[in-house]
Amino acid sequence: MSMARYFDKNPNTFGMAEPLGTSAYYRPGGIFGSGGIKPGNIFHEALHNALGLGDDDLAEKLGVHGGGSADINPALASHHCI
Ligand SMILES: [Zn+2]
């Protein structure tokens, strides 16, 4: 499945990264649009690249017990990371 098709089928996904790799993909839309290329999402995906953790484990590492993808950027913001 192409990334374009994946983003079409998953409207709440704004980015995706290769765990322990270098690739990251963002929903198109531009900095001022509704896409995923935003500083918080770039940092979020970079953490997947660097740590190799999925969303649930990354949320846990950020102190959000039982959290998921939607909890990561607010946790990063609360720690003044984004
Ligand atoms: Zn994520």
Gap from CA of 39 to ligand 1 centroid (Å): 13
Dist CA 3 CA 25 (whole Å): 8
Cβ–Cβ < 8 Å for 19, 25 = no
pLDDT of residue 47: 97
Q: What's the whole-model pTM score?
A: 0.87
pLDDT of residue 66: 97
* 10: pLDDT strictly greater than 70: yes
Span 24-82, pLDDT tens digits: 999 887 556 677 788 899 999 999 999 999 999 999 999 999 999 999 999 999 999 99
Gap from CA of 69 to ligand 1 centroid (Å): 5
pLDDT of residue 31: 58
Gap from CA of 13 to ligand 1 centroid (Å): 9
How is residue 15 annotated by DSSP?
E
Q: Which residues pair with 26 in a beta bridge?
A: 15
